[in-house]
Amino acid sequence: MKRLTEEGDLMRMATTVRKDIIEMLVKAGSGHSAGPLDLADIAVALYFNILNIDPKKKNDPARDRLYVSPGHTAPVWYATLARAGFFPVEELKTLRKLGSRLQGHLDRLTTPGVESSAASLGQGLSIACGCAYAGKLNQLAYQTYCILSDGEHDEGSVWEAISFAGHYKLAHLTAIVDRNNIQIDGPTEQVMTKEPLRERYEAFGWHVIDIDGHNMEAILDACSEAKAIVEKPVCIIAHTIPGKGVDYMEFDYKWHGTPPDKKQAREALKQLRTLGGKIESSDI
């Protein structure tokens, strides 16, 4: 796997991943659009730059770990894992089909590179805490990352995990919250108040960094900073635009759990292709 260091290369890869997501979703005929699209920049930054991982050594005890708690964002992780060499890109079109290694929600036992199955919200951070604690016991210096959705902070179990990480000062743990401000039934602050999210994490003993979740440089810098903080766990609140890259999806909570139809997908791909004009044409 080739590590990408140039911001432009990472951004182009993120666009490729977004294109993959649209193609996967339209083929599957069901699935989530908004979250996967808004996580593309973060996913690419992690797999192509930040994480110390190698698809050829998936079980290396020294590797960095990424746990994704919102399992419904599966398409962005499948696309990124495929592009990073964990399995053939061709396989992406089997998403949600019978017998596929790409289940509707993340399944560790079937998909190469997936560290944990997930979907029922509010569990991933606890698993990441266990991983970080195991690193302490085993005296391994790997970094544990956890992706959380903002909506899942409604779950009390998330706060149990936040409390645990703060109590045990799990410094090798970095949580990245996809703060896209939407959940299934509407804007997050209407469904259930999340704010002040920064202060809430801080009150539990975390160091918090707010970033623009679509700014590659900001993502890389925040992850470097998180690694450098050795006395507490770090939460990166990544402010993102749901449906990022497809104008008719952006900011609209209705695209949380809906795939585009063929016509909408054609439009989405056209929009993504014109970004930099370097994306090859796609036929669906």
Of 157 and 271, the one with the shorter C-beta distance to other proteins is 157
The answer to whether 98 contacts other proteins (rule: CB under 8 A) is no
Count of helices and strands (H, E) across the chain: 9, 7
Spatial contact of 214 and 41, defined as CB atoms under 8 Å apart:
yes
SS (H, E, C) 203-220: HCCCEEEEEECCCHHHHH
Question: Which tokens is 143 given?
Answer: 């970094």
* CB 64 to other proteins: min, Å: 12
**Residues touching other proteins: how many (CB under 8 A)?**
34
The answer to whether 131 contacts other proteins (rule: CB under 8 A) is yes
Of 158 and 218, the one with the shorter C-beta distance to other proteins is 158
Spatial contact of 273 and 214, defined as CB atoms under 8 Å apart:
no
Residue 55 half-sphere exposure toward CB, CA atoms < 13 A: 16
The answer to whether 109 contacts other proteins (rule: CB under 8 A) is yes
Out of 161, 197, 241, 268, the residue judged to bind other proteins by CB under 8 A: 161
CA dist 240 to 39, 142, 204, Å? 8, 27, 24
The answer to whether 118 contacts other proteins (rule: CB under 8 A) is yes
Residue 236: what residue type? I
- Residues 59-88 touching other proteins, rule: CB under 8 A, are 61, 65, 67
* CB 114 to other proteins: min, Å: 10
Out of 16, 33, 116, 183, the residue judged to bind other proteins by CB under 8 A: 116
- Continuous segment of H or E residues that includes residue 177: strand 173-179
Out of 107, 150, 152, 178, the residue judged to bind other proteins by CB under 8 A: 107
Site residues, other proteins (CB under 8 A): 61, 65, 67, 107-109, 115-120, 122-124, 126-135, 137-138, 156-157, 160-161, 163-164, 167
